[in-house]
Amino acid sequence: MAISTLPERPRAVLVGVQLPGVSDEEHAADFAELRRLVHTLGYDTVATVSQKRTRLATGTVLGTGKLKELAALTGGPGVISSGASDRTSKAREKWEAAANAEPAPEDGAAEAEADDVEPEDALPPPPSGEDDEAAPRPTVVVVDHELSPGQLRNLEKATGAVVLDRAGVIVDIFHRHAKSHEARMQVEIARLNYLAPRLRESTGGRERQQGRGAGDSALELDRRRIRDRLAELRAGLAAIQKDQDHRRYARRDLLRVALVGYTNAGKSSLMRALTGSTVLVADQLFATLDTTVRAMQPETRPRILVSDTVGFIQKLPHDLVASFRSTLDEALEASLLLYVVDASDPTWAAQLEVTRTVLREIGADAVPSRLLFNKADRLDAAAKEALLAQHPDALMLSAHLPDDVAMLRKRIIAFFESSMVEADLVIPYSQQGRISEVYEHTTVVSQAYDESGSRLRVRGLPGAIAKLTQLFQG
């Protein structure tokens, strides 16, 4: 009987350039994060190629030496071969030299460019042996930088592998994980914006532009289709966002808490613990993309709504930030932001700054906030004390410990109660059918009756009480 086996996952090589101002720890953290992104996308990382440079090489990101080292892993030629005929002009030769980004220094520029040159004798010898022959070569190269269409094409020629940049990986992950109609539309907008300038670099792109007649080329037709599709998506998304705005407007008088933070910091776990909802919890990047809004359980009076927003990440493509602007508006319109941080991650400070930077861009930095160090069960006592010494007002907790979740719930309630006031409301008997609105937006301390109607002593936010007073006096 034949035994079926699962297909082997594609093998990938990670490529990164450590630029000036990036520490070794930050560079290692970038690689670790890229490895997780690649794993989420379905690839296994089998090797990494890194280089310190003052800038990215214009045509190939890496210098010639490191490019050959990368090509040795993938089985590529290690140089940029032109698909055109052998006839080349001096201008063409000069362009190819510039594309390799290793021009011979002139006029005393040797010292300035010394950091960019990777000497051949500094490279480790290529791997050899039976294991190397047995293992299949990597078929994917993932670069930890955003690449231009020309750089993508040049690296594919030099390595003979499929080349992805960080932005492309993130967009593809979003594309796979989008579930709701709104999220799928948001991701498709970002994906088309990413693909549009790269159309001419696709396989067969050059041939498709040859033999133009009086009409448009196939490339121009593709670009027109993308423009039309983008217009259609934006119109559809605007309609959905209008509906979302109406829903947010209906919730304007409710107490709202938004969980914000880096991807995989544990926001969804906290959401489940606080609300009893069944949102997806998975140990992977961008497991959830849709904003979920649920009432905190056990329910309070007035009700407190908790929303789980999309996670952030280093170098998040701008098109994705723009597309998910409506999702981020949940944070902008919240009464309280809870910054969820993975306390066990050594780069938590940089991750927190990424979150704050994105929220600052949409104006949400003015919303009151509290800092939560999640996954504290993975830390020892000394590490916890060190974190609390840096941030004495932060909360240290684990979303998996009921006592910690109960403590957080009390802190959330206390935050809202600190700004509540007490007032008396008189509800005429003719409007008794609307008394439920009072219970929804305030806490009723006492209730009595007289000839004018129900007299309620309530406790709530000043804005909610003012609106209720106006409602029953109108």
- Per-residue pLDDT for 136 more than 60? yes
At a CB cut-off of 8 Å and minimum separation 6, what does 410 contact?
Answer: none
pLDDT at residue 316, as a whole number: 73
Tell whether residue 215 is among the known ligand binding residues: no
Q: Does residue 398 or residue 312 have the better pLDDT?
A: 398
CA-closest candidate to residue 397, choices 373, 380, 381? 373
Burial of 47-64, coded b for 16+ CB within 10 Å and e otherwise, reads: bbbbbebeebbbbbbbbb
pLDDT band per the 50, 70, 90 thresholds, residue 108: very low
pLDDT of residue 396: 94
The whole-number average pLDDT for the span 369-389 is 93
Q: Is 349 annotated as a binding residue?
A: no
Tell me: is residue 265 an annotated ligand-binding position.
yes
Q: Known binder of ligand: residue 90?
A: no
Q: What is the pLDDT of residue 395?
A: 94
Distances (CA, A) of 440 to 165, 299, 303, 468: 50, 11, 7, 11
- CA separation (Å) from 193 to 176, 215, 320? 17, 25, 10
Strand locations in 193-326, DSSP E?
255-261, 292-295, 304-308
Mean pLDDT, all residues of the chain: 78
The more confidently predicted of residues 112 and 174 is 174
| pLDDT of amino acid 74 | 92
pLDDT at 223: 80
What sign results for the dihedral spanned by CA atoms 326, 172, 259, 276?
A: positive
Give me the phi and psi of 370, to 5 degrees please: -135, 145
Percentage of the residues of the chain whose pLDDT score is greater than 90: 23
Tell me if 262 is assigned to a ligand binding site: yes
Please, which residues have CB within 8 angstroms of residue 215's CB and are 6 or more apart in sequence?
A: none
154 known member of a binding site: no
Six-digit token string for 434: 């609307």
Q: Find out whether 374 is annotated in a ligand binding site.
A: yes
CA distance 128 to 53: 28
295 among annotated binding-site residues: no
Q: Do domains 11-80+137-177 and 252-418 have the same CATH topology?
A: yes
Question: Is residue 287 part of an annotated ligand binding site?
Answer: yes
Q: Does 110 score more than 70 pLDDT?
A: no
Question: Under DSSP, is residue 259 helix (H, G, I), strand (E, B) or coil?
Answer: strand
Tokens for 205?
A: 């792109």
How far from 358 is each of 6, 82, 185, CA to CA, in Å? 40, 41, 21
pLDDT at 346 over 90: no
398 assigned binding-site residue? yes
pLDDT value at residue 106? 42
Which of 336-350, 379-393, 450-464 shows the lowest mean pLDDT across its residues? 450-464
Predicted TM-score (pTM) of the model is: 0.68
Rounded Cα distance, 108 and 213, in Å: 51
Tell me: is residue 75 an annotated ligand-binding position.
no
Is residue 311 pLDDT above 80, yes or no? no
Residue 277 has pLDDT above 80, yes or no: no
**pLDDT of amino acid 236:** 83
pLDDT tens, 3-55?
445 457 889 999 999 999 888 888 888 888 899 889 888 899 999 999 999 99
User: Which CATH number is 421-473 given?
Assistant: 3.30.70
Rg (CA), the chain: 29
What is the structure's pLDDT at 208? 45
Question: Is residue 62 part of an annotated ligand binding site?
Answer: no
Report percent pLDDT > 70 for the chain.
75
116 annotated as ligand-binding: no
pLDDT at 212: 47
261 in a labelled binding site:
yes
pLDDT reading at 442 higher than 80: yes
Determine the pLDDT at residue 393: 92
Determine contact, residues 112/54, Cβ cutoff 8 Å: no
CATH architecture, range 11-80+137-177: 3-Layer(aba) Sandwich (3.40)
First to last CA, the chain: 82
Can you give the residue ranges of every domain in the chain?
11-80+137-177, 181-199+225-250, 252-418, 421-473
User: Which residue has better confidence, 125 or 383?
Assistant: 383
| Contact yes or no for 315/167 (Cβ under 8 A) | yes
Is there a binding annotation on residue 100?
no
Mean pLDDT for 316-331 is: 67
Which amino acid is residue 395, in one-letter code? L
94 is in an annotated binding site: no
150-159, 259-268, 282-291, 330-339: segment of lowest average pLDDT: 282-291
Q: Is 375 annotated as a binding residue?
A: yes
Worst-scoring range by mean pLDDT, 47-51, 92-96, 122-126, 404-408?
122-126
433 torsion bin: left (phi>0), alpha (psi -120 to 50), beta (else): alpha
Q: For residue 322, name the pLDDT band (cuts at 50, 70, 90).
A: low
Say if CB 38 and CB 58 are below 8 A apart: no
Tell me: the pLDDT tens digits for 63-73? 999 999 999 99
CA separation for the pair 208, 39 (Å, rounded): 34
Q: Is 102 a residue whose pLDDT tops 70?
A: no
Q: According to the annotation, is 263 in a ligand binding site? A: yes
Q: According to the annotation, is 267 in a ligand binding site? A: yes
204-251 residue pLDDT tens? 444 444 444 445 577 778 888 888 888 888 888 778 777 766 665 655
Which candidate, 29, 19, 38, places its Cα nearest to that of 350?
A: 29
- On whether the 252-418 domain is CATH 3.40.50.300, my answer is yes
Greater model confidence, 2 or 453: 453
Statement: residue 331 has pLDDT above 90: no
Beta strand pairing status for 255-261 and 292-295? unpaired
Please state, as a whole number, how many other Cβ atoms lie within 10 Å of the Cβ of residue 187: 24
- Find, among 173, 170, 155, the residue nearest to 67 by Cα: 155
